[in-house]
Amino acid sequence: MNDKQTTSRRGFIRLAAAGAAAAGVTRRSFALEPQERKFSANDKIRVALVGAGGRGTDITLTALRVPGTQIVAAADVYDGRLTRAKEVWGQELFTTRDYREVLARPDVDAVIVATPDHWHSQISIDAMKAGKDVYCEKPMVQDISEGPGVIEAAGRTRRIFQVGSQRVSSIIYHKAKELFAAGAIGQLNMIEAWYNRNSAMGAWQYSIPPDASPQTIDWDRFLGRAPKVPFEPVRLFRWRNYRDYGTGVGGDLFVHLFSGIHHVIGAKGPTRVMATGGLRFWKDGRDVPDVLIGLYDYPETASHPAFTLSLRVNFADGSGESQMFRFIGNEGVVVIGGSGVSLSKRPPEREPGYTIETFPEEVQKKFLEEYRKKYPRPQGAERLRNNGEENYVAPRSYDDTYDHFVNFFAAMRSRQPVIEDAAFGYRAAAPALLSNLSYFNRRIYEWDPEAMKIKGDGAARPVASRG
């Protein structure tokens, strides 16, 4: 981790602290502020975008807010997106259907890979071989078997490679990391997380342009290694709904949850993966579930005890819940939700309690006398000392994707490693993809988080993710 990354994750400023005892609870509220960073206006980093869809365009706009950056090229298989890229970034922008033409340009320093998932590993490896640094949207790979190749290419080429799951750069998640490291919740024993949606856009029902045709779309280039099928624009513009091109709920959302959890507690991954769910509401031709629930066992390591993780995603959730983490320990709970993180401390009672109602009165009296000698009742401030709540809230305008790009570009300048490198990205992607396999194959998977391989048949081995 470089100095700028460390600073960006420690930029917490205490705004106010007011302690009040009410019903045995002390509440404190704090504001979080990212550290201001300054870069030279000279020596701009020149960026190219591969995959100019909604996500690619959004994150590139964010990236270009970082001082000292500019966009010089864009690639996409749909001509309309190339036209739009020029409208947004200028007519001088180089555009092409073929991403290899972008990689061949000497004026490209970094490539943002925001294509459908089945192209992530190939384009990332090609870009690193071409001498480009890479920001690759999550999940890093579509298939578990691709992970070692990306890791090897990043190591051999010595390029900066960062996966685009922005929670590892968030001041909110870093505060949670600090609280966990400080022992604020005691011994961790369970984590719960969910990421629910209740809208058409949340369920990937993206708009299809009326001019979509074999003339305006390079269909064969979009398909790539995927099975050859006749032209059907819904597969391109709603590719997340199909196993041939995307990774469903696991790769789109579970991977975010794994990234955040692994960053907060320093985990490398689970040893056992099991998932269930179904296609309950969005029966629109998609072949991935819209409800997915996963359970994961994590082993004891130097950074955390053994614990169980529960993940849930529902694409027709009318409860109003959206996204939340709960890190549950024996002395408290850290909750990440909305724009902040909260700590609720409820240490277990120091006395074990008693059940003496069925004893004779004299025996009860004697028992209580001895009990109170051993466990005297705490009084006043001592009774309230260990209980309380603390809340940390990020500024209304805070954007963790911006911080993630700040760290990426800072690493490009310093040539120091990023946190979410290829190994980190693979360790987050693998259990997400194994969740899909568990769902489709109706079985439990054993995983080796150190060796990053599936365990089975007496030996650890890689596994394909698509059946």
- For residue range 354-406, what is the model confidence (pLDDT) as tens digits? 999 999 999 999 999 999 999 887 765 554 455 688 999 999 889 999 999 99
In whole angstroms, what is the distance from residue 283 CA to residue 294 CA?
21
Three state DSSP letters for 274-289? EEEEECCCCCCCCCCC
pLDDT (average), residues 145-165: 98
Contact by Cβ (8 Å): 249, 289:
yes
From the CB of residue 124, how many other CB atoms can be counted at a distance below 10 Å? 31
Indicate whether 72 belongs to any domain. yes
pLDDT at 446: 97
pLDDT at 320: 66
pLDDT digits (tens, 9 = 90+) for 243-271: 999 999 999 999 999 999 999 999 999 99
Only one residue has tokens 């365009």, namely 57
421 and 301 together in one domain: yes
Prediction pTM value:
0.88
Contact by Cβ (8 Å): 32, 394:
yes
Percent of the chain at pLDDT exceeding 90: 81
Cis peptide, bond prior to residue 139, ω within 30 of zero? yes
Which pLDDT band holds residue 323 (cuts at 50, 70, 90)?
Answer: confident
57 and 26 together in one domain: no
Mean pLDDT score across all residues of the chain: 89
63 and 143 together in one domain: yes
Range of the domain at 283: 3-36+167-347+386-461
Q: Is residue 93 predicted with pLDDT exceeding 60?
A: yes
312 and 243 together in one domain: yes
pLDDT at 26: 54
Question: What CATH number corresponds to the domain at position 290?
Answer: 3.30.360.10
Contact by Cβ (8 Å): 121, 127:
no
DSSP 402-462: HHHHHHHHHHHHHTPPPSS-HHHHHHHHHHHHHHHHHHHHTS-EEEETTTTEEEETTEEE-
pLDDT at 200: 94
pLDDT at 7: 33
pLDDT (average), residues 118-139: 98
53 and 23 together in one domain: no
Tokens of 354: 């008693």
CA-based nearest residue to 417, from 158, 30, 229? 158
Domain boundary among 120, 141, 166: 166
pLDDT at 83: 98
Indicate whether 372 belongs to any domain. no
Domain boundary among 151, 166, 181: 166
In whole angstroms, what is the distance from residue 202 CA to residue 300 CA?
35
CA-based nearest residue to 1, from 420, 386, 423? 420
